[in-house]
């Protein structure tokens, strides 16, 4: 297979490149910053998501695009212009370039912040309606919608991965539910790239966490069998008290729901 990863210089991209090294005949790696030393079969492309012609060129001969590039969190202030350009316009450019280049599948790095305002008392599946907790979350809802459009209208095969929290280890109490380990994240990407025929799938990016608050049956359909469990870190974490902001506690999105409230308070249904 010939695979292109956007955002390949970032945290998830670097780990995935290392762990997938040599697996694909071509692993084209794209970012707007330097990509570091190239692994076996890697071809580097420096391009910005704003440059649709460069994206189309980078996708020549590619079977699957893994789209990781973008603003990967809510910036502390003035978030909208950056999020709009990179995550919404940029993701449109990725899907449109994929269509023009005849790419078969796009794997889109969405986020659980697309559904962050759902209450933790509710277990979410991939069918949960959007409840974004930030402009960043709004951009992931838009990215998922673009994926759905390009699947339904143009027949692109699309996987949207609502990634939880990708870290070497869980760092707070919420992470015990939503953590995804580096090796499980790479395995989920591999399954999403290689799963046979599918139209449009939404799955969660999480490890086999005992305290899971997501029903990840759609990831199982992709063949994903996570091996790590945040619970292995629970005793150590809880010994510290693992404090959490009061306003963060009820919601899947955690502290994204609890900051920048101004005078408006929490929106509670
Ligand atoms: N890390 C997590 O816990 C997590 C959780 C949920 C979702 N995600 C999503 O997964 C993806 C990857 O996350 P990450 O942690 O590796 O992020 P990261 O910030 O480490 O990497 C993102 C990469 O995208 C590149 N990029 C940004 N804007 C670009 C542009 N306009 N053109 C080209 N390249 C651009 C950056 O240079 C960077 O290398 C993101 O889309 C993020 O929203 C990550």
The pLDDT value recorded for residue 264 is: 43
Ligand 1 centre from 6 Cα, in Å? 9
The pLDDT value recorded for residue 261 is: 52
Ligand 1 centre from 243 Cα, in Å? 27
Residue of 6, 12, 111 best suited for mutating to test ligand 1, as the one with most atoms within 8 Å of CB = 12
Q: Is 31 helix (H, G, I), strand (E, B) or coil?
A: strand
Give residue-wise pLDDT tens across range 51-72. 999 999 999 999 999 999 999 9
The pLDDT value recorded for residue 56 is: 98
User: Which of these, 205, 207, 181, 177, lies nearest to 192 by C-alpha position?
Assistant: 205
Quote the CA–CA distance of 124 and 131 in Å, as a whole number: 11
The pLDDT value recorded for residue 69 is: 98
Cβ–ligand 1 distance for 4 under 6 Å, the answer no
Edge-first strand order for the sheet with 42-46 is 42-46, 26-31, 2-6, 64-67, 105-111, 157-163, 200-205
Give residue 28's pLDDT band: very low, low, confident or very high (50, 70, 90).
very high
pLDDT of residue 259 exceeding 80: no
With a CB cutoff of 8 Å and minimum separation 6, the contacts of 6 are 30, 31, 49, 65, 66, 67, 68, 69, 94
- For the chain, give the mean pLDDT: 94
Q: How far is CA 211 from CA 42, 178, 199, 216, in A?
A: 38, 8, 30, 13
Task: Report the percentage of the chain scoring pLDDT > 90.
Answer: 86
pTM, to two decimals? 0.96
Give residue 79's pLDDT band: very low, low, confident or very high (50, 70, 90).
confident
Sequence-ordered strand ranges (E) for the chain:
2-6, 26-31, 42-46, 64-67, 105-111, 157-163, 165-166, 179-180, 200-205
The pLDDT value recorded for residue 241 is: 76
Cβ–ligand 1 distance for 13 under 6 Å, the answer yes
Which domains, and CATH codes, for the chain? 2-257 (3.40.50.720)
The pLDDT value recorded for residue 10 is: 98
The pLDDT value recorded for residue 47 is: 98
Q: Is 111 helix (H, G, I), strand (E, B) or coil?
A: strand
Cβ–ligand 1 distance for 92 under 6 Å, the answer no
Query: Is the distance from CB of 141 to CB of 132 less than 8 angstroms?
Result: yes
Residue range 89-104: average pLDDT?
Answer: 98
Give the catalytic positions in this structure. Answer: 136
Question: Which atom, in ligand 1's list, is nearest to the CA of 73?
Answer: 43
pLDDT of residue 113 exceeding 90: yes
Query: Is the distance from CB of 63 to CB of 106 less than 8 angstroms?
Result: no
With a CB cutoff of 8 Å and minimum separation 6, the contacts of 96 are 52, 150
Task: Report the percentage of the chain scoring pLDDT > 70.
Answer: 95
Give residue 125's pLDDT band: very low, low, confident or very high (50, 70, 90).
very high
The two counts, helices (H) then strands (E), for the chain are: 9, 9
What burial class does residue 113 get, using C-beta atoms within 10 Å of its C-beta: 0-12 exposed, 13-18 middle, 19+ buried?
Answer: buried
User: Which of these, 97, 134, 142, lies nearest to 116 by C-alpha position?
Assistant: 134
Nearest CA to ligand 1 atom 12: 68
pLDDT of residue 200 exceeding 60: yes
Give residue 260's pLDDT band: very low, low, confident or very high (50, 70, 90).
low
Alpha helices by DSSP H, listed for 59-212, are 79-83, 90-101, 135-154, 175-178, 182-194
The pLDDT value recorded for residue 263 is: 39
Ligand 1 centre from 181 Cα, in Å? 16
Cβ–ligand 1 distance for 170 under 6 Å, the answer no
- CA 70, chain centre distance (Å): 10
């Amino acid at each position: 297979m010939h695979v292109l990863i956007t955002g390949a210089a970032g945290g998830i991209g670097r780990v995935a490149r290392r762990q997938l090294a040599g697996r694909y005949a071509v692993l084209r790696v794209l970012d707007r910053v330097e990509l570091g030393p190239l692994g076996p079969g890697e071809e580097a492309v420096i391009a910005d998501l704003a440059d649709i012609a460069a994206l189309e060129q980078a996708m020549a001969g590619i079977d699957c695009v893994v789209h990781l590039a973008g603003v990967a969190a809510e910036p502390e202030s003035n978030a909208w212009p950056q999020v709009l350009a990179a995550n919404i316009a940029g993701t449109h450019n990725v899907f449109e370039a994929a269509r023009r280049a005849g790419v078969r599948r796009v794997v889109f790095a969405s986020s659980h912040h697309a559904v962050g305002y759902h209450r933790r008392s509710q277990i979410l599946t991939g069918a949960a309606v959007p409840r974004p907790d930030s402009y960043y979350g709004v951009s992931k809802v838009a990215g998922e919608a673009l994926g759905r459009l390009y699947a339904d209208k143009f027949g692109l095969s699309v996987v949207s991965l609502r990634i939880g929290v990708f870290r070497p280890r869980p760092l707070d109490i919420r992470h015990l539910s939503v953590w995804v380990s580096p090796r499980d994240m790479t395995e989920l990407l591999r399954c999403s790239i290689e799963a046979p025929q599918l139209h449009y799938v939404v799955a969660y990016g999480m490890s086999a966490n005992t305290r899971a608050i997501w029903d990840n049956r759609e990831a199982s359909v992709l063949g994903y069998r996570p091996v790590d469990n945040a619970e292995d870190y629970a005793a150590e974490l809880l010994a510290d008290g693992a404090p959490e902001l009061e306003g963060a506690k009820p919601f899947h999105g955690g502290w994204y729901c609890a900051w920048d409230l101004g005078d408006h308070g929490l929106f509670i249904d």
